[in-house]
Structures are given as structure tokens and as C-alpha cells.
Amino acid sequence: MAQKISDFRKLSKKFLRNGTAILGIALLSFFIVIAIFAPFIAGENGDNPYQIPRVSWSSKPIAPTAEHPFGVIGGRDIFYGVIWGTRTAFQLGLIIASCAAVIGILIGSVSAYFGGWVDEVLMRIVDIFMSIPFLVAAIILTTILGKGLDKVMMALIVFGWMSTARLIRGNILQAREEQYVLAAKALGQKNFIIIVKHIIPNTIFPVVVQMSMRIGSYVITAAGLSFLGIGAEPGYADWGTILSYSRNWMTMLDQSWFAIVFPGTAMVLFVLAWNLVGDALRDIFDPRLRN
């Protein structure tokens, strides 16, 4: 037990000495706080808090004022949109990443475990999914399914599991060759238990790291779809939606810069936070670093 504590201490010491990791954690905590306290920071819009309140009926952008610190575009309060958009971003990122990971892990491990033609067929399916340009596929799927954030999520999940499947398959194939797996077999351990006790714990962590790295990129892609007008419904508290309002004012950046800068900054920092955390997680999970 004492050993475990000192292990943990050594790790956390290493972790804390790593500046970028601290920055990542700080940024992420910042976003978490904003997401939790969104109603207190930006207020709550009556019956549907995820709908940005309309503050003006003119579509003209209004520069930041004390009342609307990030300004107004399309008649919507940008500050409200950015704050509540944080919640949307977490929902998007976490749901897509975890669903894609579950599907990927399932398919990857089935493929690695059974091998032979099962592996062959599944990997060809992965290839097919990967060969379709992601954005095109997402556009087609959302056009078929219809508008709405849930549809965006579905599209991203359907086209987001492949790399996880490949990663986990590769890791399992590698772990299967490890001598400790052979040793467990030599002791008479059942195949199923070998997978649960020896292979999964040694293969799952890279997936977790990859998952955290990809949360940011999912949010960007979803924003891209919203920007193209095939994502969230108009007025939804989502960074991409606010950006999409600025589409019509692109040529007049002096009047609409705030509609790009504030949600844009939020997005960049959000992606950065997850990437830094992903990096830090990789360091933590790498057993070699504990030596």
C-alpha cells in the first residue's frame, strides 16, 4: 500500500513539473467551471436554456456593450452563446468520443481475437469507411437524417470509430505476443480471462489517450458542420452556430469580428486543453515512465 502511495506521489510530482500538463488541466477545469455555472454566468433562457435568447430583431451585428459583453449577431447574444456553448461542446465531445470508442473497441477486439476471415472482413469495412472523405460523408448523412445536433453526433460517431478499432486491434495483436500472455496460457488460464486480465488492461490506455485527444477535434468538426448550416438549428447555443451567423458579414470584419473572435477563441482553447490533457495522460499511462 505504501508503495502505491509513493508511486502516486512520484507520478504526480512528474506531472506537476510538466508545465504543459498543468496548463491543460487548468484550461480544462476552467471550461468545466463555466459549463457547470453557465446559468449563473450568463443567465438562463426560460423554457429552453440551449436556445440563445433573441435580444434584437435586426440581423445587424452589434458591437460589445456592457449589457452584451461579446456583442450581438443575428439578434443573438454572443456571450450567452459562448457560455452555454461550453456545455454543448462537452456534450458533443464526450458523447461522440465515448460512443466511437466503444464501437471501435468492440470491433477492434473482435477482429483481433477471432482473426482469420472475421478480421479480414472487419478490417476491409474499416478501410471502406476510412476511404470516404469524412466531411463529405458527414454532410450526406446529416442531409439524410435532417438538421439538429443529435444528427450531427450520430454522423460523427458513424464515421469516427475506425481509428480506435485499428488502434485496439494492433495493440491486442501486439499484447498477444507478450511473454506474460504466453505465461498465463502456460499456467492454464482460460482464454477469456487472459483477455480480461492481461490483454485489455494493457491495451485500453492508448485508446483513452486517443479519445481525449479527439474530443477537441470532434467539437471543431461539429462546429464546421454548423458553420456550413447543416449542424445545429439556428439559435442553438453552440460555438459553430454563432460562427455561422457571421457568414453573411465576412466582408465586413470590422463590424462583425466579435462573432468570430469569441467563439473561435473558446474553440481553440477547448481543443488545446484536451490535447494537453491527452499528452499528460499518455505520460501517466506509460509504465516505462514509472521506472
Partner 1 sequence: MQNNTLLKVNNLVKYFPVKAGVFRKTIAQVKAVDDVSFEVKKGETVGLVGESGCGKTTAGMSILRLYEPTAGQIILDGKDTSYYFLSRRKAKKFLKKQYTEKFEKMKQKYSSEDQVIKNLNDEFNKQAAKDYFENPHKFIEKMMDMRIKGRSEFRRKAQMIFQDPYSSLNPRHRVKTIVGEGAKINELVENKDELKAMIEDILKKVGLSVDHMSRFPHEFSGGQRQRIGIARALILKPELIVCDEAVSALDVSIQAQILNLLNSLQKEFNLTFLFIAHDLAVVKHISDRVAVMYLGKIVEYTTKDQLFEKPLHPYTVALMSAIPNPDPENKSHRIILEGDVPSPINPPSGCPFHPRCPIAKDVCSKEVPQFKEIEEGHKVACLFPGKLKR
User: Residues in the site for partner 1, rule: CB under 8 A?
Assistant: 1, 3-4, 7, 116-117, 120, 178-180, 182-190, 197-198, 201-202, 287-288, 290-291
- Other C-beta atoms closer than 10 Å to the C-beta of 90 total 18
Distance CA 241, CA 147 (A): 12
Q: Quick one: cell of 56?
A: 434584437
- Residue 126 or 243 with smaller CB distance to partner 1: 126
Distance CA 12, CA 17 (A): 8
- Residue 9 or 247 with smaller CB distance to partner 1: 9
- Residue 4 or 17 with smaller CB distance to partner 1: 4
What does DSSP say about strands 76-77 and 72-73: parallel, antiparallel, or unpaired? antiparallel
- Residue 133 or 201 with smaller CB distance to partner 1: 201
Residue position matching grid coordinates 482460460? 190
CB of 6 to partner 1, least distance (A): 10
- Residue 102 or 193 with smaller CB distance to partner 1: 193
Distance CA 171, CA 12 (A): 26
Q: Quick one: cell of 167?
A: 488502434
- Residue 75 or 206 with smaller CB distance to partner 1: 206
CB of 203 to partner 1, least distance (A): 11
Name the β-bridge partners of 100.
none
CB of 223 to partner 1, least distance (A): 38
Cα dihedral sign, 182-208-113-196: positive
CB of 25 to partner 1, least distance (A): 24
CB of 280 to partner 1, least distance (A): 19
Measured in degrees and rounded to the nearest 5, phi and psi for residue 236 equal: -70, 140
- Residue 87 or 176 with smaller CB distance to partner 1: 176
CB of 181 to partner 1, least distance (A): 8
Distance CA 202, CA 163 (A): 18
Q: What are the start-end ranges of the E strands in 13-152? A: 72-73, 76-77
CB of 130 to partner 1, least distance (A): 17
Looking at residue 198, the DSSP 8-state letter turns out to be I
CB distance 276 to 24 below 8 Å: yes
